[in-house]
Amino acid sequence: MTRLGIALLWLLHRLLGARGLGRLGEALGGLLYHLARGRRHIGEVNLRLCFPERPEAERRRILKAHFRAFFRAVLQEAVSWWGSREEVEGLTRVEGFEHVAPHLGRPLILLAPHFIGLNIAAVRLTLVHSPTVSMYARIRNPAIGRLVLHARTRFGPIELYSRHDGIKPVLRAIGRGLPFYYLPDQDQGRRNAIFSPFFGVPAATVTALSRLAGLTGARVVPCIAEQTRDGYVARFYPAWENFPGENVESATRRMNAFIEERVREMPEQYFWLHKRFKTRPEGEAPVY
């Protein structure tokens, strides 16, 4: 079944191109908003916790827009899987690379929160600079996993490590001057995490960013992937000064606060379908 779906997506990419895939993805997302009740429930809980001040009707509008934008991105990933260099460059542009260039060749972490265009942005980055290093979570479906890994490596060398490999290979790569494209903002349980406020709600947050920056002396340059009317923008921000600072708690809160600011700018594009608040402090009831 998976092979049939992949073959169909390949054919649609050939017939429709990136824009056609985008329109189809938005239509699919609008349909799945009504059909995928489990995921919709997760999104509703996340938005209620993060935006309690907003009317329910507005949160519903954000979630509907998120479904459309998310599945547009899902289908347009076909461009990063099979598209030419010109197609990838036409779909995604890079802004603010001047914030990255001075730090190349030295320890550098590219902080990439879970906005819906982050995979496409990662592929586009390999056309601007390589090699880089990144970590990934193993995808349950091996066929999809192979395609995702293929996309990340097809335009330039990149060192990819599974979370199961641990952090030591990444530390060595950062020490060699490879930029680390790091996705820090999902609930991975209590291990190596602290409860740090995210929109005022305690959220289990991995502390690896501050630990990596402290151990390697790496500069942290945020990279936000924004879905636009015509495609995507991989936007880099100025390197953070005085990071990680005095302690892990303040550094982790600083990271979450930065992500909050970007979410408020485009709330429909943050990945709301993940159980961000699954892990709760001792004695607190589950939220989902």
Say how many residues make up the chain. Answer: 288
Written as six digits, the tokens of 72 are: 């547009």
Spell 75-94 as b/e; 16+ CB within 10 A means b.
bbbbbbbbbeeebbbebbeb
**Are the beta carbons of 59 and 51 closer than 8 angstroms?**
yes
**Are the beta carbons of 161 and 135 closer than 8 angstroms?**
yes
Domain ranges within the chain, ordered by starting residue:
2-269
Written as six digits, the tokens of 197 are: 């406020």
Q: Which stretches in the chain have pLDDT values below 70?
A: 1
What are 202-220's pLDDT values in tens digits?
999 999 999 999 999 999 9
- Calculated CA dihedral for residues 113, 119, 125, 126, nearest 10 degrees: 140
Share of the chain above pLDDT 70, in %: 100
The distance of Cα 203 from the centroid of its chain, to the nearest Å, equals: 17
How much is the pLDDT for 47?
98
How much is the pLDDT for 1?
66
Question: What's the angle, vertex CA 146, arms to CA 29 and CA 227, rounded to 5?
Answer: 35
**Are the beta carbons of 235 and 95 closer than 8 angstroms?**
yes
Helix, strand or coil, per DSSP, at residue 206: strand
